[in-house]
């Protein structure tokens, strides 16, 4: 994606919620937190699970499978692979922390536009 794409209307989103959207072949997560919109690739960078199945607390999204956490404001890693089990330690050794792919969001006349 290299241009602004309309992915919805503001009235379609409630505060502190998130939604999966398909746009030009990209699976995007849109979150609305305190009247501000955030967009990121809908897939977690560690194992490919869907962000939209995770837990949203403020602007922090938590992976439902492995407990990794990411900041939607900038895509940064808050926590990489929760736990100290052998599987978690192996996962941490094999997959170094990677931020979310974040998309720019613009709201114009109630239209939500996303740009890669």
Residue 92, φ and ψ in degrees, nearest 5: -65, -35
Tens-digit pLDDT profile for the chain (116 aa)? 468 899 889 889 999 999 999 988 889 999 999 999 999 999 888 777 899 999 999 999 998 877 889 999 999 999 887 765 555 555 555 667 789 999 999 999 999 999 86
CATH class of 5-115: mainly beta
Q: Which two tokens mark 19? A: 């939604």
89/25 Cα distance (integer angstroms): 34
Q: Which two tokens mark 52? A: 């939209």
Q: Residue 90: what pLDDT?
A: 58
DSSP letter at 24?
A: T
The answer to whether the beta carbons of residues 65 and 49 sit under 8 Å apart is: yes
């Amino acid at each position: 994606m290299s241009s602004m794409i309309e992915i919805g209307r503001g009235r379609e989103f409630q505060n502190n919620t998130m939604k999966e959207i398909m746009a030009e072949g990209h699976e995007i997560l849109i979150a609305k937190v305190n009247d501000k919109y955030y967009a990121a690739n809908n897939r977690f960078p560690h194992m490919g699970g869907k962000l939209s199945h995770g837990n949203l607390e403020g602007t922090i999204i938590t992976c439902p499978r492995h407990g990794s956490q990411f900041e939607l404001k900038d895509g940064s890693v808050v926590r990489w692979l929760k736990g100290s089990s052998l599987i978690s330690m192996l996962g941490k050794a094999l997959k170094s922390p990677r931020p979310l792919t974040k998309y720019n969001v613009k709201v114009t006349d109630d239209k939500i536009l996303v740009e890669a």
